[in-house]
Structure 1
Amino acid sequence: MTTGELGRDVEHADADRRWMHGGVLLGLGLGGFFDGIVIHQLLQWHHMLSAVYPHDTPGNLRANTLADGLFHLVAYLFTLLGTALLWSGLRGRHPAWPTSAFVGTLLFGFGLFNVVEGLIDHQILGIHHVRPGPYQLAYDIGFLIWGAAMLLVGWGLMRNARAANG
């Protein structure tokens, strides 16, 4: 292997890492947006701090709205950073990756969001639950299972694509 070939291999590996990390960060952002838009706003099952500050007073609702806004800001930053890394990793000359690899990165990131958010916010800190009420634990566990399933399917798709691309 010549020095030029080795340099291209290192460059390709670096580009692969950037786009894969970018896809995972984009998936994290999309997971956050899905949670914030669907569960917080459309279904109105909870807000970011609803177990700590029930949204039954104007002051508590303001605190939850601010926390939800900061949560969306973080999701937006993950999305921007993921898009930038994805773009930088896909530029230049390198072997094409299959669509399944890209879908895998998104699923991995989305699932990672659900597992981490579900464990930290729902179980460890208890600052909110997916859907408070008589089946609260079932909703929280279902959220974790859904996230773990996406995480595993995404990891499998990424692994298969990486094996196929060498």
Structure 2
Amino acid sequence: MERKQHFWSGILFGIGLMVIVDEVIFHQLLQWHHFYDRATSGFGILTDGLLTSFGFFAAVFGLFLFADLRKKMSIYWMSWIGSVCLGAGGFQLFDGLVSHKLLQIHQIRYGVDILPYDLAWNLFAALLLIIGAVMVKKTTFDREDS
């Protein structure tokens, strides 16, 4: 049970963290795009708000699961941080492949050669996934039934 709770706590927090970082940096500060760019700017801002809300709730729910683990005094940091990397990398790869390429609801940036941005975005996501998978795999829990 603790193994699953470590995993899902980290996954949810990682997804939420990456959503919030993406929203703050690329949507608000740089203003490169909105979550949904195929409509009016107002609708794009609305979709940004919905995505930010989703990210916030995922992060908070992940932290509630983490607080429960902390209360039990059973934190396996390598597993949890690895799961955070898996969640963050998974969201970023989903965004890069599904949102940007398959559904084309937005691109990372407009008016430039998009290939370097796509490569950087998706390679960073893959790196996070690899690091996370290695960290989770290397974690040994005290009990086999965890």
TM-score using structure 1 length: 0.79
Q: Secondary structure at the match of 1:91?
A: helix
Q: Paired residue for 1:108?
A: 86
Conserved? CA contact 2:35–2:105, under 8 Å: yes
Which residues of 2 match residues 11-50 of structure 1 at below 5 A? Answer: 14-50=1-37
Q: Secondary structure at the match of 2:35?
A: coil
Which of the two has higher C-alpha Rg?
1
State whether structure 2 residue 127 is matched by structure 1 residue 149: yes
- Greater RCO between the two (CA within 8 Å, min separation 6)? 2
Q: Distance in 2 between matches of 1:109 and 1:21?
A: 9
Of stretches 128-137 and 36-45 in structure 1, the one that deviates more from structure 2 is: 128-137
Q: Distance in 2 between matches of 1:101 and 1:15?
A: 11
Which residues of 2 match residues 1-166 of structure 1 at below 5 A? Answer: 14-50=1-37, 52-53=38-39, 60-92=40-72, 94=74, 96-97=75-76, 99-162=77-140
Conserved? CA contact 1:19–1:87, under 8 Å: no
Alpha-carbon distance change, 18 to 49 in structure 1, aligned in 2, over 3 angstroms: same
Listed as ranges, the gaps of 5+ residues in structure 2 are none
Conserved? CA contact 2:81–2:132, under 8 Å: yes
Q: Distance in 2 between matches of 1:93 and 1:134?
A: 50
Q: Deviations over 1:85-143 (max 9, x none)?
A: 2222333254x52x333321211111011011111110110011111223113212321
Of stretches 34-43 and 103-112 in structure 1, the one that deviates more from structure 2 is: 103-112
Q: Distance in 2 between matches of 1:31 and 1:45?
A: 17
Paired AA for residue 76 in structure 1 = F
Question: What is the deviation of 1:75?
Answer: 0.4
Paired AA for residue 80 in structure 1 = V
Alpha-carbon distance change, 137 to 85 in structure 1, aligned in 2, over 3 angstroms: same
Q: Percent identity?
A: 26
Question: What is the deviation of 1:144?
Answer: 1.0
In the alignment of these two chains, the number of paired residues is 144
Of stretches 85-94 and 128-137 in structure 1, the one that deviates more from structure 2 is: 85-94
Q: Distance in 1 between matches of 2:125 and 2:97?
A: 11
Listed as ranges, the gaps of 5+ residues in structure 1 are 1-13, 54-59
Q: Deviations over 1:27-86 (max 9, x none)?
A: 000000000000101111111112x13xxxxxx121111010001011011112211222
